[in-house]
Structure 1
Amino acid sequence: MRACTFVRASKEVVDVADVAALVKADLERARDTNVTFSRHAMRVVPVETTCFAGVDEIKEACKPLIEKHFKSGREQTFAIAFERRSNNTLHRTEVIEAIAGMIEQPPNKVNLGDPDLTIMVEIVKGVACLSVVQDYEKLCKYNLRMVAMTKEDREHAKATANGNAPAPGTKKNDEEKPAEAAD
């Protein structure tokens, strides 16, 4: 797959370290220092488990993740982030509904704006990459470039991407217009 790099950790490392926590710590460091740790990476996606990209297989692979992150007995909010590349057979709503149905509600609740936990479902061809992460929205959907920007630069980048940014050399609407010269 073009423009994707996968880094695999040995089983010994995975048993000791939480991959999602390591990625979150790196993103927080990039946010705090406004410096990325990679020149070419755009987005960093931790993967806790993988499976075939089918709804039944995804549900089966999610069981241990849900047990690990949602069985604490306390109320948590959650969202499900679904992305797919080079796969037209898997439908977004079908996967989201299947996973959401596995999470006990209540005490857990859906919150798409600022969830405590986000279940990331990344489909790449015939493989589903799954993980549960914290602060997904606060860390700009794990977009390394956006996280490392200042808040002002991030807002400008979002406005430019949406086509709402003023053209170079033009004034913003809230700036005062120069006073006209009297005749």
Structure 2
Amino acid sequence: MKRKYGDLSHWRGIIQKKYRQMYIEEVGFTGHVTLVVFNKVKESISFKLADQDDFYIVADGFMWLQYFPSNAHHTMTAVINEKGKIVQWYFDITLANALTIEGVPYFDDLFLDVVVLPNKEIFVLDEDELLEALNNETISINDYKLARKELDLIYASLTDGSNELIKRWDTDLKSISSEI
């Protein structure tokens, strides 16, 4: 299981970045939000989904707006291109979301992911990795069930249009980026 940090300090491909975080406590969302602006990266990173064309998720000028909900087992990353347009929303299913001693949000990744494209097409990723982690005893049966349950909750909120994080990303981006 990998631990991933909101400031992306675990990444070595970032040459220059801006970072900001804030805490939000509102109806619909309570938790930490982080913004990483990729000023300069060693190399751009592209992503491929099924029959979709490759698209970039990391490049100079891109931004990642990440949500770390309190008392939930997922995070969401809004990937925004250099023109300020959404590229994708990426949900990581997590064992836990927490803060480092320094106050930086992080999560322990439970392998399973959900990607939503701007056209609202939904992709569930890495179900095979989740099953492999269970079979290899990297995770417990309870962790496996937790991941599947969280996937069901996220998927339902995406298909019925009630997902609060997708509804609020652009407003939060304006708020947090005004501080950079």
What TM-score range do you get, normalising by the shorter chain?
A: under 0.3
- Report the TM-score, using the length of structure 1 for normalisation: 0.23
Rg larger in structure: 1
User: Higher helix fraction: Structure 1 or Structure 2?
Assistant: 1
Higher relative contact order (CA 8 A, sep 6+): 1
Using the size of structure 2 for normalisation, the TM-score is: 0.24
Q: Which has the higher strand share?
A: 2
